[in-house]
Amino acid sequence: MDSIAILDFGSQYSQLIARRVREASVYCELFPHDAPSEQVLGLNPKGIILSGGPASVYEPDAPQVPQYVLRSALPMLGICYGMQALTHALGGTVAPSPKREYGPAEIRVLVPNPLLPLGSQPVWMSHGDRIEAAPSGFTPLARSAHSPIAAMGDLSRRWYGLQFHPEVQHT
């Protein structure tokens, strides 16, 4: 049976992410962001989702992406804080946004990719930090008025990040 592991970084939408995965007829389990590798990888997931959360990657004791996740080579999707934590772990630049994005926004997809259709689309944002430089190997896929990198992907590794929340109805 195919399964997805979701690491919860404290998002108000973590349960909704799990629900959306299950609505796609895929088994998933929600784990705390610091769950041990044996527990998460014991699920034998086909991919990992890193949820959003209220922290900033630069706060003391901010939750980080576990090293075993980065070493796993599994496809990965970071959502909001999950994207920021992935960027921080891989050497990209996360910084406070001059203007916090909360609520409806519009992204413009920049390049053809397997994740997002070309053109503009409405999304739901909820963040105070933004990605200013993608990690090595990542291509910026979309931008918004206040996020120069609203989506990014390392297509060869199948690692993606979304600054917006694809799990909510508004996206």
Q: Which of 33, 88, 127, 165 is catalytic?
A: 165
The count of other CB atoms within 10 Å of the CB of residue 12 is 12
Phi, psi of 95 (to 5 degrees): -145, 160
Q: Tell me the longest C-alpha to C-alpha distance in the chain.
A: 44
Is 167 assigned a catalytic role?
yes
Cα–Cα nearest to 51, from 24, 18, 23, 92: 18
The whole-angstrom separation of Cα 69 and Cα 19 is 22
The count of other CB atoms within 10 Å of the CB of residue 23 is 8
Q: Which of 28, 33, 80, 127 is catalytic?
A: 80
Q: Which of 28, 33, 127, 167 is catalytic?
A: 167
Q: Which residues have a Cβ under 8 Å from the Cβ of 69 and sit 6 or more positions away?
A: 7, 40, 48, 50, 76
Parallel, antiparallel, or unpaired for β 47-50 and 93-109?
Answer: unpaired
Is 28 assigned a catalytic role?
no
Q: Which residues are catalytic?
A: 80, 165, 167
